[in-house]
Structure formats: structure tokens, C-alpha cells
Amino acid sequence: MPELRKDPVIGRWVIIATERRKRPHDFQVTGEGCMTDTSSCPFCEGNEGKTPPEIIAYRNGTPPNSPGWSLRVVPNKFPALAIEGGLGRVGEGMFDKMNGVGAHEVIIETPRHVCNYDVLPEQEIEGIVSAYRDRVIDLKGDDRFQYILIFKNKGRDAGASLEHTHSQLIALPIVPKRVSEELSGAREYFGFKERCVFCDIIRQETQDGTRLVAESEHFILISPYAPKSPFETWILPREHQSSFETIKDEQIPDLARLLHLVMRKMVDVLGDPPFNYMIHSAPLHTDPEHYHWHIEIMPKLTHHAGFEWGSGFYINPTPPEDAAEALRNCDTVCQP
């Protein structure tokens, strides 16, 4: 019989549709592959002139916007938001609008034309995590911004328009709806239990083990209880921490290792699926005791359709216990 499961944070119900049950091999996709002629790729070393001037780069003493870097952060060439200007909140009859002020940056994760960072050395992934932190800390100084979202789109079906591995950052003048919902769900739980809901999830998943994929000193990797889509996984810091940018130096290599691990596990179990990941963190300049930052990783294996659009309710054909088992048990190349 199918099950309805409730997300303990946001209160959203999900249908675990056992009649439509899908196992990992039902999803096996073949990666799009990387193009071999990379002369036109704006993210490759040597093509620095094809991007707007860099904001920061990790370099060995080479001058800005030239070769000789391991990571670059540049403004998005086609930004969704404009960095200049004020908010200008106004009405339009009964409607409300404001200027689309914000930052939209691209983190180019490696100078080599690589399509996913499962093949990068762990040290480069540490650099990516550090760059995320450095950019948030810098942008926090701009008091027009209330929220910063860091995310990664991999593969065309997950919304990536360039294949060279990269992440993005958008700084927003408002707290987006999805974040407010998480915050208010978590606040309600805290009000009732006087405990952080994410800390409770970590305790239960660690003890129970059926949805646990991997653990490390500072983080756990799980399939959440009520996943929106098959093989969704979350990485959570064990210790209560509301905001990603307060990550400590000693946590960074550990997080990089777990991110690397989940990437390799997805390639092993699912082929080379398109995916998105997003860092969920508290709004800037807040440190709520009820909120706990984490990363949600969502391989794109099914199409969300009219039912999901109309109801905000997801049909998931793979129970998270099956997904966790497959990811946990995949062969040795996946061991941390």
C-alpha cells in the first residue's frame, strides 16, 4: 500500500507510491558526456576573457583574469538580478513589486573541462566549499541583502546551460518563501519540543540507520524521511549550526569528503544523472536556535507534473529506505 509521509520541517506530505516502485536500475541514465572541443568554453583556463572580470580567484600569484588559477568566481553574464540600485518598493494597482536588486555569481570550480566534480581531487572540492563561505561572508556586508542561496545545477535537464562544472550564488533582498516556510515549521517544532527539529532528525537517523547513507566526524548523509524525489539526499552538520558561513575550518575537509562521496555514489548507482543541490541556511544576520543549515541534493530522475504543480505534494516512486540501501551498499570505489 502506498504511504503518505509528512516532512517534519515544512509540513508537506509526500506520497511514497509503492505501486509505481522504482529501483536504481530503472533510473540508470547515461551522462551527456563532456564535449572535447573546449576552445569556446568560457570557464576553461585560457578563456578568462570570455567571462566578466573575476570577483575572486584562488591563484598562485598570477594576475587577475589570466591563466594560473584553481577556482574563479565571476558575475553571471546574464544575471537574473542587477547588482546596482535600490529596492524601490512600489504598488501597481493591487499588486506589489520592487527592483530586482541582487548579486548573481558563478563559481567556476576547476580550470579543467570536467563535467562533474566526482572526478576532482578532494583538495579542489575543499576549495569550492571555502569559496562558498568566502563569498557569503563578503556579500553579508551589503545591507540590501537578506538571504544568499548557493546552488549547483548539473546537466541540461537540471537547468545547467554550460557543462563545465560550476556552482552559482544569488543574493536576494528578501527571504524567499521556501526558506520562510522551513523557518516557521522549525520554529513551531521548537516551540513545542524546545529542541531543534534537525538535531532530532540527526539523532533518530543515526540511531535507526535505515535511511543513513554515510557518517563522518562532523556530518551525516541521509535519505530524508519524506523526500520530494527519488534518491534525494541531505548532508547535515552533526553539531547545531544555523548558518553555513559559520562553518569551521576543521569542518571543511570533512564536508568536501562527503560531497565527493555522494557525487561518486550517484554516478555508481544511477549512472551520471543530472542533479541540483542547494545549501539551506538561515537568513543573513540571524542565528535562530531552531534552524540548522544543511545541503539538499536532488538527482533529476522524474518529471514533476500537473499533480505536483497543483498540490505542492510529491509522488515519489522510490522509498527512501531503498534509496539509502542502494547508496550505502554500492561498491568499494564509493567508500570514504
Query: Measured between alpha carbons, how far is 222 from 233 in angstroms, rounded to an integer?
Result: 6
State the binding string over 298-327 for its own copies (x if CB under 8 A, else -): x---xxxxxx-xxxxx-x------------
Residue 122: CB partners within 8 Å, gap ≥ 6? 253, 256, 257, 260
Look at residues 173, 181, 180, 178 and name the one whose alpha carbon lies nearest to residue 147. Answer: 173
Q: Residue 219 is placed in which grid cell? A: 556530518
Cα angle value 119/121/125 (rounded, 5°): 95
Residue 285 touching its own copies (CB under 8 A)? no
Residue with cell 529596492: 87
State the binding string over 193-222 for its own copies (x if CB under 8 A, else -): ----x--xx--x---x--------------
**Quick one: DSSP state of residue 175?**
-
Q: Given the complex with its own copies, which of 224 and 334 has the nearer CB atom?
A: 224
State the binding string over 219-238 for its own copies (x if CB under 8 A, else -): ------xx------------
Q: How far is CA 131 from the centre of its chain?
A: 14
Identity of the amino acid at 34: C
Residue 330 touching its own copies (CB under 8 A)? no
Residue 64 touching its own copies (CB under 8 A)? no
Residue 149 beta carbon to its own copies: minimum distance, rounded to whole angstroms: 5
The answer to whether 52 and 74 are in contact (CB under 8 A) is yes
Query: Measured between alpha carbons, how far is 192 from 132 in angstroms, rounded to an integer?
Result: 34
* Binding to its own copies, residues 91-150 (CB under 8 A): 92-100, 147, 149
Q: Given the complex with its own copies, which of 41 and 81 has the nearer CB atom?
A: 81
Residue 37 beta carbon to its own copies: minimum distance, rounded to whole angstroms: 25
Residue 79 beta carbon to its own copies: minimum distance, rounded to whole angstroms: 6
* Binding to its own copies, residues 24-53 (CB under 8 A): none
